[in-house]
Amino acid sequence: MRLAIMQSVKFMLIQFNFMLDKLREYTTSNQDDIITDLRKLVKHPSISAQSVGIEECAAAVNEIMRDSGVTSHIIKLKNGNPIVYGEVKSSGKKTLLLYSHYDVQPVEPMDDWRYNPFSGVVTDNKVHGRGAADSKGNVIALIKAAKAFLDNYGEPPVNLKFLIEGEEEISSINLPEFVKTNKQMLKADASLCFDSSLNPTGSASIYMGLKGLLYLEMRCKTASTDMHSALAPIVANPAWRLLRDPSVCTPVMKTPPISYSPGPVISCERPLTALTKLCPGASWLTVTISARSLSGS
């Protein structure tokens, strides 16, 4: 009995390796088409934080999906960026939900770019551009993996569902509600997300806990009207009151990067005592202190 199981596992592995070799071969011979589609997506600015090019990019993802054999459509959200949803049916019983996002981070500062962030320039076998890696490369990889199965085997070994959102870079604001109201549509046996990275040795990184950013704005008003800077020695400066108050700010770095602007808003980056207790993993908390009642001091 044990020998029979061993033999059957060995046979499955041989079959699996044969299948992978065939898919790799297919991917290599279709590399140009795959890169063309990736460049097409990279050339679409889709900056969720600035509402730039979102609809157009969602349409491009949808088009690439359809051209690749995925049954897909765009789901418009009432107050959010559209989601591209797709499916590929299989005679297999299991279902895999594939998650990714088509939106990208803003591109400023422009001077730091060697190539235009939306050019999709290819040099040294690399596609350059905002989102080429995070996460349009992954979006294309998932779609083309499905196409590779369809073209070589007529179907993937499991049912595939694609959930490609456009708000990941702004905290996936509407995704929890979308998932809650579309449980049946998104039902799957497992889900995969490739929105991660490789470490320098080339191994995939697995994140065991994700952290984020916390911004807050504090306001402190002392005088009820603008005052001449000559009064600074006797009138409390609200910005410095906030910065110096030890119960609010506790500097932990020898030279905290305080950026002082002559405008009405002073920004500083310091961990706040109370908040560092709440968020022990946070290394920085950004504080914007508004000193609108201050003039010239």
| Residues forming the site for Zn ion (CB under 5 A) | 134-135, 195
Taking the least distance from each CB to Zn ion, the nearer of 46 and 293 is 46
Taking the least distance from each CB to Zn ion, the nearer of 169 and 239 is 169
SS3 159: strand
**Smallest distance from the beta carbon of 211 to Zn ion, in angstroms?**
15
Assigned token pair, 253 = 């770095």
**Smallest distance from the beta carbon of 101 to Zn ion, in angstroms?**
6
Taking the least distance from each CB to Zn ion, the nearer of 170 and 214 is 170
**Smallest distance from the beta carbon of 290 to Zn ion, in angstroms?**
32
**Smallest distance from the beta carbon of 186 to Zn ion, in angstroms?**
19
Taking the least distance from each CB to Zn ion, the nearer of 143 and 242 is 143
Assigned token pair, 120 = 């999709």
Assigned token pair, 61 = 């993802």
Reduced DSSP (H G I as helix, E B as strand, rest coil) percent helix, strand, coil of the chain, to 5: 40, 20, 40
Alpha helices in the chain (DSSP H): 2-29, 31-42, 54-67, 137-153, 175-181, 183-186, 238-244, 273-278
∠ at Cα 195 (119, 114), nearest 5°? 25
**Smallest distance from the beta carbon of 269 to Zn ion, in angstroms?**
24
Q: How are beta strands 215-219 and 286-290 bridged, if at all?
A: parallel
Taking the least distance from each CB to Zn ion, the nearer of 195 and 217 is 195
CA of residue 46 relative to chain centroid, distance: 12
